């Protein structure tokens, strides 16, 4: 375990981009809770998260004004913490996930009610935007926080490479998938992911498709 200077770029986080993490918090009965949450990097030691009302994570953060952001590539941790509850033996005493590749501790700077227009969930006052300061960064093994952009690039390229050999209906399906992928990557992806998606878009447009 290495306690690092606090600089989120050490775990590959670019300013303004969003990374998929598992946030752990303390419940009122002193047990721990885990939930996947997208974390936007706002600088070397500042992050922003947006959490929909009704989650334990939001209630716990409002109550304690602190939380842990865990970096992991374990699909089971993401699945169980979304679909059920992680068992308590998944956590260390300090509220971190015991299998995390890295983690950082956060303290709340501000909580603001907000709903972004681009969001699929459009009801007003449904989410809280939480700006937080990172107070400790621990890297257990060399890792980078997970960004959805690269997955979309690979998925879009796979579909593109099959494009000329599929039916019109399948082409339409691929184009719709690409439109959604492009929207998400522009919003959350890293600079290089966005660049790659623009290249794919250009190729599809040169085939005469309107994106
Ligand atoms: C990859 C991923 C990212 C997510 N990001 C967010 C997010 O940024 N904000 C949010 O409110 N919910 C997000 N969710 C949904 C929550 O994790 C989900 O509602 C969870 O069940 C909340 O659990 P809790 O009630 O224990 O806090 C995300 C889910 C996944 C799978």
Q: What is the pLDDT of residues 121-132, one digit of tens each?
A: 555 568 999 999
- Provide the token pair at 90: 């998944």
Burial class (CB in 10 A: 0-12, 13-18, 19+), 34: buried
Judge if pTM exceeds 0.85.
Answer: yes
Given this chain, do its domains 2-139 and 148-206 carry the same CATH topology? no
Residue owning the nearest CA to atom 18 of ligand 1 = 82
How far lies 152's CA from each of 148, 159, 186, 191, 204, in Å? 7, 10, 11, 13, 16
**Closest atom, ligand 1, to C-alpha of 49:** 8
32-88 pLDDT, tens digit each:
999 999 999 999 999 999 999 999 999 999 999 999 999 999 999 999 999 999 999
Place of tokens 């579909």: 159
2-139 homologous superfamily: Electron Transport, Fmn-binding Protein; Chain A (2.30.110.10)
Highest CATH level, class, for 148-206: mainly alpha
| Domain ranges (residues) in the chain | 2-139, 148-206
Q: Can you tell me the distance from the alpha carbon of 8 to that of 108, in angstroms, rounded to the nearest whole number?
A: 17
The rounded Å distance from CA 80 to ligand 1 centre is 12
């Amino acid at each position: 375990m290495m306690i690092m200077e606090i600089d989120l770029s050490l775990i590959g986080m670019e300013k303004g981009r969003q990374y998929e993490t598992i946030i752990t918090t303390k419940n009122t009965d002193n047990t721990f809770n885990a939930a996947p949450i997208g974390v936007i990097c706002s600088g070397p030691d500042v992050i922003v998260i947006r959490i929909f009302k009704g989650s334990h994570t939001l209630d716990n953060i409002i109550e304690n004004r602190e939380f842990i952001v865990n970096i992991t590539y374990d699909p089971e941790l993401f699945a169980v913490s979304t679909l059920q509850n992680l068992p308590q033996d998944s956590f260390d005493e300090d509220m971190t996930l015991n299998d995390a590749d890295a983690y950082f501790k956060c303290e709340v700077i501000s909580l603001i009610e907000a709903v972004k227009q681009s969001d699929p969930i459009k009801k007003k006052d449904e989410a809280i935007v939480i700006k937080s300061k990172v107070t400790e960064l621990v890297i257990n093994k060399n890792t980078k926080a997970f960004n959805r952009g690269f997955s979309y690039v690979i998925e879009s390229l796979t579909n593109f490479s099959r494009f000329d050999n599929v039916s019109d209906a399948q082409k339409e399906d691929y184009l719709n998938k690409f439109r959604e992928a492009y929207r998400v990557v522009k919003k959350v992806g890293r600079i290089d992911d966005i660049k790659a998606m623009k290249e794919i878009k250009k190729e599809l447009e040169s085939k005469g498709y309107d994106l």
